[in-house]
Amino acid sequence: MTDVSYIEVDEQGLDLIKPLWEKLIEHIIARSVYFGEWFEARAFEQRKSELLRKSSAGKMHIGLALVDGEYVGYCVSSVCCRAGEIDSIFVEESHRACGIGGEMMKQALAWMEKEQAVRINIAVSVGNEEALPFYQRYGFFPKHILLEPKK
71: containing domain: 5-136
Whole-angstrom Cα distance, residue 74 to residue 151?
30
Report how far Cα 88 is from the mean position of its chain's Cα atoms: 2
Say if residue 107's pLDDT is above 90. yes
pTM: 0.92
**Once rounded to an integer, what is the mean pLDDT over residues 13-36?**
94
Is residue 95 domain-resident?
yes
Asked whether residue 151 is assigned to any structural domain, the reply reads no
Instruction: Give yes or no for residue 1 having a pLDDT over 60.
Output: no
Q: Which string of DSSP letters, residue by residue, matches 90-125?
A: EE-GGGTTSSHHHHHHHHHHHHHHHTT-SEEEE---
- CATH number for the domain spanning 13: value is 3.40.630.30
C-alpha span between 62 and 30 (Å, rounded): 25
Q: Of 16, 129, 124, which is closest to residue 72 (Cα–Cα)? A: 16
Give the pLDDT confidence score for residue 6 in this predicted structure.
Answer: 96
Q: What is the pLDDT of residues 41-70, one digit of tens each?
A: 999 999 999 999 888 877 999 999 999 999
**Structural domain contains residue 26:** yes
Report phi then psi at 59, rounded to 5: -135, 155
Is 38 contained in some domain? yes
| pLDDT in the model for residue 58 | 79
pLDDT (0 to 100) of residue 55: 82
Model confidence over 129-140: pLDDT tens digits? 999 999 999 999
